[in-house]
Copies of this chain bind each other. A is one copy, B any other.
Amino acid sequence: MREIAVTDDARQIHLNLFLPTTGHHEASWRHRGARPGEIFSLSYYREIAAIAERGKFDSLFLSDHLAVGRNYEFGPGVHLEPLTLLSALAATTSRIGLIATASTSYTEPYNLARLFASLDHISEGRAGWNIVTSWSDAASGNFGRTERASHTERYARATEFVEVVTKLWDSWEDDAIVADRASGLFADRNRIHEVDHVGRYFKVKGALDVARSPQGYPVLLQAGSSVTGRAFAARYAEAIFTAQQDLAEAQAFYADVKTQARSYGRTPADIVILPGLGPIVGDTEAEAREIERELNEATIPQVGLRHIAARFDGADLSSYPLDGPVPLHALPRPDDVQGAKSRSQLIYDLIEREKSLTLRQLLWRLAGARGHGTVVGTPEQVADRILGWVDRNAADGFNIMPPYLPGSLADFVDKVVPILQDRGRFRRDYDGHTLRDHYGLRRPANRFTGSRLAS
């Protein structure tokens, strides 16, 4: 395994903040420390980003759904658009990476390429793109589609989309702008390239109307964990947001993706793997459990049941008693599910693994981080959980999902991060300036520069 991942004890970890509106716990907004009235205020996100930057996080990340959340009556189902919010946060922060989710299904490559290139310029090299193919019916209805594309079709389009976008990002070579006042030459036409793409899904002439950005390309991220999703990630992703609750499964995923990457001519270090983790931190374990209990009791069972229905093609468990056993027979098998297969599998595995769970207990288990891992305990326990997985080659760091904001992020930053730093495993200050610097990723070469020099 040594070739697949460095097992050096001093291996530095990476931390990303997954930043939703009020927090990741289903009942986050009802917590007394939450601020649901501020979810459209820049000042609120500015405060949160400042806490994450004080904690020296590599990056923060916004998800996106292109539709109102299905439980909008019982929690935030609306949010600021990611690229605009991150652009504003680029002006209020100086080092933290800024990652936006954007779909390859409902936008044009030219539009997306320039939005991200622009964010990368504005932030001086801190942009990342979390590539999603979008699977919800709700989203497709907002874009005039009567039925959503199949899983395979979506990934075929995503593959071509990424090829076009990266080509557009290369279309202006790094030194294409000359700006020579004396001669009047602004740009060197030999270093500017039309992409002339004609494919199955897209036809794009180019060049891009934004010069090549500080990172060359914004960092490419991905979250799909199905077979197709993993292959796509192994080929393109430079960081992966994954959902794993079980150490052995996380190790298998980690090894699989890093091995697959080789077949695309990449090295294991080219991909940073970050499982989601919802941390509830207390000064004692009892205090942490009490915070968890309080949040769980504020959940509304209907919301959790709808989440399960959404993951399992509409399966309705609402007629089963909440304090009875989980009716596994009423759920379709994950292989038969059309949507996000990997998340259905994860829930299915959890039910099979812990046969004594009641339906209510299952809902509570999912309420913390929607199927992602959670950890409830003292700062030491949380730090141990994080380093334990990294040391066992299950992760390169974590996608931190605070149950409510800004309180549980501040707890993590003030109590857990110092332990990680004292153990020599996490930066005390930023060394580099770009998101690629933080993640230890190379700046991509420009496909046109080599061929121009060779010709």
Q: Is A265 an interface residue (CB 8 A)?
A: no
Chain B residue nearest to A196 (CB atoms) is B141
A187–B73 contact, CB under 8 A? yes
B80–A122 contact, CB under 8 A? yes
Chain B residue nearest to A65 (CB atoms) is B209
Our pick among B40, B66, B114, B172 for the contact of A81 (Cβ within 8 Å) is B114
From known contacts A181-B29, A181-B30, infer whether A210 and B79 are also in contact, taking CB-CB under 8 Å. yes
Contact indicator per residue, chain A 204-217, by CB within 8 Å of chain B (1) or not (0): 11111111010000
User: How many of these chains are in the complex?
Assistant: 2
B205–A81 contact, CB under 8 A? no
Q: Is A405 an interface residue (CB 8 A)?
A: no
From known contacts A46-B91, A106-B108, A142-B205, infer whether A80 and B186 are also in contact, taking CB-CB under 8 Å. no
Which residues of A pack against B, CB within 8 Å? 29-30, 32, 36-37, 40-42, 46, 65-69, 72-81, 83-85, 87-92, 106-108, 110-111, 114-115, 117-119, 121-124, 138, 141-144, 172, 177, 179, 181, 184-189, 192, 202-211, 213, 298, 300
What are 26 A-B contacts defined by CB distance under 8 Å? Answer: A30-B184, A37-B179, A40-B213, A41-B121, A42-B91, A42-B122, A66-B209, A68-B192, A68-B209, A73-B187, A74-B184, A74-B185, A77-B187, A77-B209, A78-B187, A84-B119, A84-B122, A88-B90, A88-B91, A106-B108, A107-B107, A107-B111, A108-B143, A141-B204, A144-B203, A144-B204
Shortest Cβ-Cβ A-B pairs, 6 listed: A141-B205, A87-B87, A81-B118, A144-B203, A91-B91, A36-B179
